[in-house]
Structure 1
Amino acid sequence: MQSVNPQHPTHYWHRSEDGRTQCDVCPHRCKLQEGQRGLCYVRGCEAGEIVLYSYGRSSGFCIDPIEKKPLNHFLPGTPVLSFGTAGCNLSCKFCQNWDMSKSRQMDTLASQASPQMLADACVKTGCRSIAYTYNDPVIFMEYAVDVAQACREQNIHSVAVSAGFILPDPRAEFFRYMDAANIDLKGFSERFYHKLCGGHLQPVLDTLIYLVHQTDCWVEITNLIIPGENDDPDEISQMCEWIYEKLGPRVPLHFTAFHPDYKMQDRQRTPLQTLENARSIALSCGLKHVYTGNVAATDSGSTYCSHCGQLLIERCQYQLGEWNLDKHGCCNHCKTPLAGKFEAQPGSWGAQRQVVRFKSSG
């Protein structure tokens, strides 16, 4: 197997006036002394430069349905090869992938694969796309970009599952190679981001505006609703109005259920009614494609025509049912185009999950 450099060079950094080396990937702008690591843990200072420690290394690979990312308007029913590394540049107290994103043990990254190996694996397994997920790919952007370039040469799409907490220059480079993205808009207040995520809201909003208006990357948004924290109807209404005004009514929005995890195990799971209420608010604000997730609800998980209301894509827990799009991605009934990327026929992967293993080098 092709070897990988445990300390991969990066170029978004500079020397600060106090002699430390500043990472310029995300808004934390970590200033590091020799041997120190940033908040994300996988970027650190070596020989006065910022290096990436997780290049070519992963916490594991598996094939998922694309709807699990979640992406409902991007190649429905097709399989996607998913992987992540370790670390994260946010510190969400409710993280539901905390065993990977909060890991400080490089042993977590037991699986290794070069960009070309991943591209070849997509072709071999019939995956139409590859997803950088589980932890935020912006912190391992050099690895993700190289994988995306190798995949693009074989007509494999790249999908970023990200919180969008990234500075403008690396944002432009990273998303230049992404064909689709699900951005996690965790809440709609600075209080929420500061208290529960260790970050800020505005950089995420800036990323969404940039992606929708300045790139060809297909965008969907996820909002994980946590009882007592970001479930206030007024806040949800403000968020939906912002999406409508700044991004447009056809950007899909997923309201997903929280389950007690990590540092918030004292909270209840999000009731289905809360998700349904949030969906009703979003629809009343003018958004056309609003979904519920992490729950078994066929009606609110399915896609409908924004013009005539016809059921276009039926879904229940990542499983597709009725399909009423023509070969051009338009409603069979009224011929209104459905926003997104669709093929003449849906994929048939279903809800299965398949682990992928690469042979060890030694």
Structure 2
Amino acid sequence: MQAETVEGMPGRYWHRIDDGRIQCDLCPRCCRLHDGQRGLCFVRARAGEQMVLTTYGRSSGFCIDPIEKKPLNHFLPGTPVLSFGTAGCNLTCKFCQNWDISKARALDRLQDIASPEAIADSAVRSGCRSVAFTYNDPVIFLEYAVDAAQACHARGVKTVAVSAGYICAEPRVELFRHMDAANIDLKGFTESFYRNLCSARLAPVLETLEYLRHETPVWFEITTLLIPGENDSAAEIEALSRWVMERLGPDVPLHFTAFHPDWKMLDKAPTPPTTLHMARRIARGIGLRHVYTGNIHDPEGQSTYCHGCGARIIGRDWHDLTAWHVTADGSCAFCRTRCPGVFETGHGTWGRRRRGLAVQEIGP
């Protein structure tokens, strides 16, 4: 069989092995490739004697979202974020809710063209305070994400990685060095869940979370999608919450979100709100201060409360802010207890709007 001819920008993090193949060292899959072969992510491939990223400079589309949709509740609340992704993924989650992008095989030839500079310019022109690398995982388009992040920072725009955290140690340092904030999907808390539903391992994700907490200034929050019968038992939720409390501390926000049937798990029922409420009670009972529910209507579970006096300091109804009692330095307006996160004077007013955006290249 003739090898596929692949084109793309040179990629980093690979080495040659003794049998003539090259090994990708970006994520723990360590795909080993002959010429013309692609890794499991589909977008990193061997072209001759090097690794290339086939989706550099191309996106599956751009959209302005509320930052709370990432979800990030403690990072510039109420502000718009320019969101985009590419194609492919290095996990194989059977419950993927962005499967049309992350499982794409043709999009790497059909995407919008956008240079890092054009992305930064579009963020400035549209009034976005940040750019989010999302929809699929920025780990697999690291070179593009890093270049875009550098262009954004040069224009005063902050950057956000929405990732499953499945990345090796060396590229992990590079990726997050260029990020201001992140939301990490902690998909479950057992090796069997990761192995059977994601074809991955739990340990590297936990390593990423500990790295972010103890070795970087990146503001990050955690999201766990609760799937009925798979990762929603009280025992697993307690184990996950206790690990976050003991290894990351009480101030890292934890989001429990509702599953809806999608991709290869159409036989599962949606997550009932009672499960999310239970998870929130368990996590708060263990000592986590900022625990949220998502993908359901729950103003109480989506609002932020002062851990000093208990007052509701940021009210939310879906992605709309309904109350604001936070000072410019991120303190409770009532008792002056500091609320962890990245805050400014006042808050954004973007609300729950979602708007598509055409990114245009900068003229000469």
Q: TM-score, normalised by structure 1?
A: 0.97
Q: What's the CA shift for 1:359?
A: 4.6
Q: Is the 8 A contact 2:114 2:361 kept in 1?
A: no
Q: 1-side partners of 2:291 and 2:343: how far apart?
A: 18
* Conservation of the 8 A alpha-carbon contact between 2:115 and 2:361: no
Match in the other structure for 2:228: 227
Aligned to 2:203: 202
Deviation at 1:213, TM superposition (A): 0.6
- Return the offset for 1:10: 1.4
* Partner-residue secondary structure (3-state), 1:93: coil
Structure 2 Cα separation of the partners of residues 134 and 141 of structure 1: 14
1:167-178 alignment, distance < 5 Å = 167-178=168-179
| Distance (Å, rounded) in 2 between the aligned partners of 1:70 and 1:55 | 25
**Identity across aligned pairs (percent)?**
59
C-alpha distance in 2 between matches for 1:358 and 1:314: 33
CA distances 1:28-52 after superposition (whole Å, capped 9, x unpaired): 0000000000000000000121100
- Give 1:360 deviation, angstroms: 8.2
Equivalent positions of 1:214-253 (< 5 A) are: 214-253=215-254
The 3-state SS of whatever aligns with 2:300 is helix
Residues 287-332 of structure 1, C-alpha deviations (whole Å, 9 max, x = no match): 0000000111000000000111010100011000110111221001
What is the aligned partner in structure 2 of residue 35 from structure 1? 36
1:297 — aligned with what?
298
Conserved 8 A contact 1:85-1:100: yes
C-alpha deviation, 1:220, in angstroms: 0.1
For 2:51 and 2:307, locate their aligned partners in 1 and report how far apart those are by CA, in whole Å: 47
Amino acid across the alignment from 2:49: G
2:3 maps to none
Partner amino acid for 1:121?
Answer: S
How far apart are residue 358 of structure 1 and its match? 3.0
* Residue of structure 1 in register with 2:326 after alignment: 325
User: 2:8 matched to 1:14?
Assistant: no
- Residue correspondences, number: 357
Cα contact 2:119–2:359 (8 A) shared by 1:
no
Note if contact 2:118-2:361 (Cα within 8 Å) is conserved in structure 1.
no
Structure 1, unmatched stretches of 5+, are: none
Q: Which amino acid is 1:287 matched to?
A: L
Which structure 2 residues correspond to residues 141-290 of structure 1 after superposition, within 5 A?
A: 141-290=142-291
2:313 aligned counterpart, secondary structure: strand
Instruction: Check 1:175–1:109 CA distance in 2 against 1; reply closer, same or farther (3 A cut).
Output: farther
Change (3 A) 1:150 1:298: same
Provide, for residues 91-116 of structure 1, a one-character-per-residue CA deviation record: whole Å limited to 9, x for no partner. 00000000000011135642111000
In structure 1, distance between residues paired with 2:157 and 2:10: 26
Match of 2:127 in 1: 126
CA distance in 1, matches of 2:92, 2:301: 30
Counterpart position of 1:93: 94
